[in-house]
Amino acid sequence: MRSWRVTTPGPIGTGPLRLSSVPVPEPAPDELLVRVLVCGVCRTDLHVTEGDLPVHRPAMTPGHEVVGEVVAKGATASGFALGDRVGVAWLRHTCGECKFCLRGAENLCPQSRYTGWDADGGYAEYTVVPAAYAHHLPAGYTDDELAPLLCAGLIGYRALQRAEVPEGGRLGLYGFGGSAHLAAQVALARGATVHVLTRGRAAQELALELGAASAGPADASPPEPLDAAILFAPAGGLVPVALAALDRGGTLAIAGIHLTDVPELNYQRHLFQERQVRSVTANTRADAREFLDFAGRHHLEVTTRPYALADADQALADLAAGRFTGAAVLRA
């Protein structure tokens, strides 16, 4: 099969990815073999490829927003039949026994493992996934539309939980890519007022089309104080900007797995009056079930930019340069 591999992590323009011919993987007893139909392109893939997140093993195949078809099963794999459409997401293993797993916070498990970081992902024609970590997908979406839900959608949903947006609250979104444009729709469906702060006129226009009350530059002030904010852009310099925009008691959730350094904060301006900062670390399987159920009941408008699998390196380069709105997807 064809499979992209991270050979020498570095800037995307230096060619850190190589398209290779490798054997189709064999599923372990508890795994599904999945023929990849579409794989979403996530900023985390870019971080792994460029070395911001060091690869956990050599020649890693990125990709963790996989929509595919079950074509083979291990002897103990259950919950899916051959021919089923299936989703493969970032989280692929937890121990089930540590204090975090036992209290429902499996995303904090010290033994957690991830698709496209610890095990080969979906920038390929086939991949494997433990059946217990695979996802049933909602009806009413194309494969292209489903792929971004499996990370961009999930992490946006988790970030909304962490931000604790009050009922009818005012939410600011900093950055408006694949994840934010889905989180905005969930927040709007729950009755929030959404203000988007992002670079790029096209992203601002998309935000307004989806129902945002305002859209302006990332370093601007929103038109009213915010009850909550989510930082999707991997720019630490926006942390004090977002904190300064919060009303008393507001919460800033930082949704990225990687962030550039945060500048010095001023306690009175940025943190006093019980403002708080929270990070977001992956999602749990419970989060995934809740979000995908929500997506089945409230149809989300998923903006995608399709690329052929052979053009994965170009898709990542375009993502790095901000050349498209919404989410890129690779068609195998």
Measured CA to CA, the distance from residue 207 to residue 64 in angstroms comes to: 25
What is the pLDDT at residue 46?
95
**Cα atoms in the Cβ-side hemisphere of radius 13 Å centred on 194:** 28
Is residue 295 predicted with pLDDT exceeding 90?
yes
How far is the C-alpha of 255 from the C-alpha of 173, rounded, in Å? 10
Find, among 150, 158, 159, 204, the residue nearest to 39 by Cα.
150
**46-55 average pLDDT score:** 92
Mean pLDDT of 250-274: 95
Could you tell me the pLDDT band of residue 55, with boundaries at 50, 70 and 90?
confident
What does pLDDT average to over the chain?
A: 96
pLDDT tens sequence across 60-107: 999 999 999 999 999 999 999 999 999 999 999 999 999 999 999 999
Q: How confident is the model at residue 194 (pLDDT cuts 50, 70, 90)?
A: very high
**Mean pLDDT in residue range 158-172:** 96
Cβ(147)–Cβ(38) below 8 Å: yes
- Quickly state the pLDDT bin for 141 (edges 50, 70, 90): very high
pLDDT attached to residue 256: 86
Report residue 275's pLDDT band, with 50, 70 and 90 as the boundaries: very high
Q: Are the beta carbons of 46 and 12 closer than 8 angstroms?
A: yes
Look up residue 173 and give its amino acid.
L
Rounded CA-CA distance 103/118 in Å is: 24
Sequence-distant (≥ 6) Cβ neighbours of residue 8 within 8 angstroms: 14, 16
Residue 136: pLDDT band (50, 70, 90) is: very high
Between helix 180-189 and helix 154-163 the angle, nearest 10°, is: 50
Segment 20-23 long-range contacts (CB within 8 Å, at least 24 positions apart): 22/124
